[in-house]
Structure 1
Amino acid sequence: MKKGGQVDAASQALRELWEAGKKPQAIALRHSFFDTNQPPPPMAGLLNPRGIAMRFYLLALFEAQCRLDVGEQRVGSRPIAGRNGWADLVAIDGAYDAETGKYMRGGTKQDRDLETLRLRQVQGALRTMEKLGNDRHQALVDIPTKDNGHRLYDAFTLMAESGRGRLQTPDRYSVPKLERSKAFRVPAAFFLNGWVQVLHPSEIATWLIFQALSQHFPGKHDDEGNFLVGDVRKRFGLRRDAYEDARRRLCSFGLLRIARPKSEQTSIFSQPIAPRERYEPHRYQVVHGGLGEKALDRCLKEITFLQNELRKRKS
């Protein structure tokens, strides 16, 4: 991504889209994307570390809210390919082929095929989102087809965060109102500074959940931090290893921090506090300034630091 400048190019395309539209400071996302009465939620179907389905759905919400007012439904008008098409809004790993689901071997002329690969990954993301849920009731898009079965990707319809539903009439996406019990804010900087492009799906999911918790329980967040217990994590579709890795990376990238409850803060006159109980979960706070950095630069800096630390340990 760094070599081909894809993250910068995709971020520039998103910024142009944002500046030409309503310039929302935050995107509203319904809780039903990851919190449903009958788990697993739609988000769980987008956690595959390969492919861009999670990224693409969030980008589609961003695109819609740059153009539409609260309550308006998104009507398809953006082509998949070509200048300012959907493929222009995503950055991909040029070595990954969505058609085969494998990474290409050395010697492949990647630069020549990047545009084709982006198009294939967008189409693959749409197919993934079309098949979610039993009987596709959690499908996040609807793709019309011709009589011969050929998909008309350009004409896809975006569904609500909970999916199309089980009724014959699908629940098409409309811009939600920011209500504390139903939706939360995703800062525009998450899209404009490239974070949506570089974070893995499990990292995005974990960060979204802590964003929602911080806004639903703001006092708790500021005083003690929020936490995610195992039963809730499973209900959201996050495996333990994926969650543990995601929260560590989010902390290293400056998007989360381990909270130190105010009740545990000490002064030079205070008595030592009791050690943390074994069963007590770690609490986290969202770091609001972290999104202001360019995502790829921050991630590469962290990777370089970790590599240097590993070299020191080996020497």
Structure 2
Amino acid sequence: MRRHRRLNEMKKGGQVDAASEALRELWEASKQPKSIAIRHSLFSSKEPPPPMAGLLNPRGIAMRFYLLALFEARCRLDVGEEWTGGRPIAGRRGWADFVAIDGAYDGESGKYMRSDTKQDRDLETLRLRQVQGALRTLEKLGADRHQALVDIPTKDNGHRIYDAFSLMTESGRGRLQTPDHYSVPKVERGQAFRVPAGFFLNGWIQVLHPAEIATWLIFQALSQHFPGKHDDEGNFLYGDVRKSFGLRRDAYEDARRRLCSFGLLRLARPKSEEASIFSQPTAPRERYEPHRYQVVHGSLGEKGLDRCLKEITFLQNELRKRKS
């Protein structure tokens, strides 16, 4: 299984532990927020698809990098303060230090490299290239780039100055000439939701796939927007709502199964059949009762890489038993 091999590569190289340690140093030397707030506009938009839809590609680290940038900003800034940059892309405590990659995966070609192939790129160079690629992806989101989540200045010769990138708000830079720079949001119901710091500090951000991160973030938002429903019956998504977030059915189904096996979601058993606004069918013929889920935070205290490897290894062993 490709994912098992990838996680083993990251475990062997100590990539996740090193990135998590860099993030923890950042956190301990700063405001030590227990959580960060993310605006709902990341995955909802008046002009669909939302910005998040452009970050669901399983290749590359664009979604991961943007979330890491939100975490880094909250560690430095108070609520209401606007983004200020200055951190270099490369070097000690640079942006590349916050990212864990699989040393056998080449982000530029989008392929896994054979172990017997000679390479002129070390892990530091690969991380740097992936960070630069993530910034380029974030810069190009939306028609006419109006959903761009970063702005990268250029030199007279057209070369990008990556170190000087600016972070945009979760809905993107906007259509006006003056971009909508990121500022730390206040948690307001229906406007923003919290993501526990353990998601970043314990490596979960490094090991989950983009569709898994997106699905988990959506359920986080639902659990805080409808806390009563979440605690009593669990939350769920109908197809139309899921599509509006940019999640394909197969990606969503696989993501929720993985999140349950990793201990980040659990299947809820509703205490009643009372419907919420998310459970109202759009037509009588669509009446059915989908599975409901509750967010679980306990696993965020574990190392994400160890938990994922354990669960995927167990699944592989079960599959081998069935085949034999």
TM-score normalised by length of structure 2: 0.91
- Verify the 8 A CA contact 1:198 1:295 in the aligned structure 2: yes
From 174, 184, 203, the equivalent of 1:175 is: 184
The 3-state SS of whatever aligns with 2:122 is helix
Distance 1:250 1:149 in 2: 42
Deviations 1:132-170 (A, max 9, x none): 000000000000000101100000000000000000110
Paired position in structure 1 for 2:100: 91
Paired-residue identity, %: 87
Distance 1:259 1:227 in 2: 10
Distance 2:224 2:193 in 1: 7
From 39, 48, 55, the equivalent of 2:57 is: 48
1:31 counterpart = 2:40: yes
Alignment of 1:193-208 (within 5 A): 193-208=202-217
Aligned-residue Cα RMSD (Å) equals 1.4
From 302, 305, 311, the equivalent of 2:320 is: 311
Paired position in structure 1 for 2:301: 292
From 139, 147, 152, the equivalent of 1:138 is: 147
1:159 counterpart = 2:168: yes
Equivalent residue pairs, number: 303
Distance 1:225 1:108 in 2: 49
- Verify the 8 A CA contact 1:94 1:110 in the aligned structure 2: no
Paired position in structure 2 for 1:68: 77
TM-score normalised by length of structure 1: 0.94
- Verify the 8 A CA contact 1:142 1:159 in the aligned structure 2: yes
- Verify the 8 A CA contact 1:28 1:185 in the aligned structure 2: yes
Distance 2:43 2:197 in 1: 20
Q: Report the CA distance between 1:288 and its aligned residue.
A: 1.6
Question: Which letter does structure 1 place at the counterpart of 2:91?
Answer: G
Q: Structure 2: 5+ residue runs without aligned partners? A: 1-9, 274-285
Distance 2:117 2:80 in 1: 46
Paired position in structure 2 for 1:274: none
Distance 2:74 2:64 in 1: 16
Distance 2:106 2:156 in 1: 28
Deviations 1:19-51 (A, max 9, x none): 000000000000000011221000000000010
Distance 2:59 2:214 in 1: 14
Distance 1:111 1:118 in 2: 14
Q: Report the CA distance between 1:8 and its aligned residue.
A: 0.4
Q: Which moved more, 1:111-120 or 1:205-214?
A: 111-120
Paired position in structure 2 for 1:273: none
Would the alpha carbon gap of residues 299 and 175 (structure 1) be closer, same or farther in structure 2, given more than 3 Å must change? same
From 243, 247, 256, the equivalent of 1:238 is: 247
1:20 counterpart = 2:29: yes
Distance 1:62 1:44 in 2: 20
Q: Report the CA distance between 1:292 and its aligned residue.
A: 1.0
Distance 2:245 2:14 in 1: 34
From 214, 218, 228, the equivalent of 1:219 is: 228
Distance 2:119 2:225 in 1: 44
- Verify the 8 A CA contact 1:51 1:98 in the aligned structure 2: yes
Q: Report the CA distance between 1:112 and its aligned residue.
A: 5.9
1:125 counterpart = 2:134: yes
Distance 1:243 1:143 in 2: 32
Distance 1:111 1:197 in 2: 24
Deviations 1:241-283 (A, max 9, x none): 000000000000000000001238xxxxxxxxxxxx9721110
Question: Which letter does structure 2 place at the counterpart of 1:297?
Answer: D
Paired position in structure 2 for 1:262: 271
The 3-state SS of whatever aligns with 2:177 is coil
Paired position in structure 1 for 2:5: none
Would the alpha carbon gap of residues 314 and 82 (structure 1) be closer, same or farther in structure 2, given more than 3 Å must change? same
| Structure 1 residue ranges, 4+ long, deviating more than 4 angstroms after superposition | 109-112
Question: Which letter does structure 2 place at the counterpart of 1:180?
Answer: R
